[in-house]
Amino acid sequence: MIQVDLKGQNAVVTGATRGIGFGIAKALSAAGAAVACIGTNAEKLSKSVDEINAAGGSAKAYICDVSKSDQVEAVSKQILEDFGGKVDILVNNAGITKDTLVRVMTDEQWDDVIAVNLRGPFLMTRAFVSAMRKKKYGRIINISSISGLIGNRGQANYSASKAGVIGFTRTVSKELANRNITVNSIAPGFIETDMTAVLDPVIVTEMKNRIPVGRFGSPDDIANAVLYFASPDSSFVTGQVIAIDGGMIM
Ligand code: NAD
């Protein structure tokens, strides 16, 4: 992994139970940060947090559905209390897919994906931004998708939510820049996780053929970019979106 020193810093990662979020939480912890891991499944989240702590980290589990205002408010209060009012890094990673063609997409499929993927980052950012402003320091990293940049058949809801995350990132970066708070977005390409494990093998092979580096990405590929944006040394970089996709959408 990229070497970054985050000792003494506190981080919050949503969707940290598995996949990319778990990879990010592990990487931030290995860099020295204390990590608040947010997820919805208590048993699985506690297993992931135990794994981070067994490796010498300092992680804590928090149950919260990021699309629910009251839950985000309660959990953010608790995290700020536990972390002495200081949260340096927020990674909005939690996300879901409910793929289908737009002509048969239900209201529920549309609303659920927008709620978790777009409302979630908004609620979480709003919840922690005052504490960051007070300390005049912050690193907010929003996980988008190349689907939000170039679109993807069957993902009208998901692409719209991820394009929204990019617009949200750019605007919030402008609002917070004078407080030494950077806001950036990472647009992963095809990363091997439970989310992509359910895809049709024919589509998976087609996808792989479209990746110039010739392999799928791993959560570590995304975590390395998070480490860069989370570092105090990336203070002149804000409002950016970087595709980590093996060259797929170049
Ligand atoms: P995943 O399904 O393996 O993990 C998603 C995590 O989010 C899980 O821990 C889940 O519990 C959590 N989560 C879901 N809904 C939640 C909610 N309402 N509140 C709190 N937590 C919730 O997915 P992943 O592949 O690790 O994806 C992580 C992020 O990366 C997502 O935002 C996804 O859209 C994005 N992404 C993934 C890929 C990929 O190829 N895997 C590509 C582009 C973008």
One digit per residue, the tens of pLDDT, for the chain of length 250 reads: 999 999 999 999 999 999 999 999 999 999 999 999 999 999 999 999 999 999 999 999 999 999 999 999 999 999 999 999 999 999 999 999 999 999 999 999 999 999 999 999 999 999 999 999 999 999 999 999 999 999 999 999 999 999 999 999 999 999 999 999 999 999 999 999 999 999 989 989 999 999 999 999 999 999 999 999 999 999 999 999 999 999 999 8
Question: How much is the pLDDT for 188?
Answer: 98
| 158 annotated active-site | yes
Nearest CA to ligand 1 atom 2: 195
Nearest CA to ligand 1 atom 18: 65
Q: Is 21 in the pocket of ligand 1 (CB under 6 A)?
A: yes
**Does the predicted TM-score (pTM) go above 0.75?**
yes
Q: Is 93 in the pocket of ligand 1 (CB under 6 A)?
A: yes
Question: How much is the pLDDT for 250?
Answer: 84
Nearest to 155 by CA among 86, 113, 99: 99
Residue-range domains of the chain with CATH: 10-243 (3.40.50.720)
What is the distance in A from the centroid of ligand 1 to the CA of 11? 18
User: In ligand 1, which atom is closest to the CA atom of 147?
Assistant: 43
Q: Is 193 in the pocket of ligand 1 (CB under 6 A)?
A: yes
CA–CA distance, 119 with 114 (Å, rounded to integer): 6
What is the distance in A from the centroid of ligand 1 to the CA of 94? 4
**Which residues make beta-bridge pairs with 92?**
142
Residue from 12, 17, 20, 63 whose mutation best tests the ligand 1 pocket (most atoms within 8 A of CB): 20
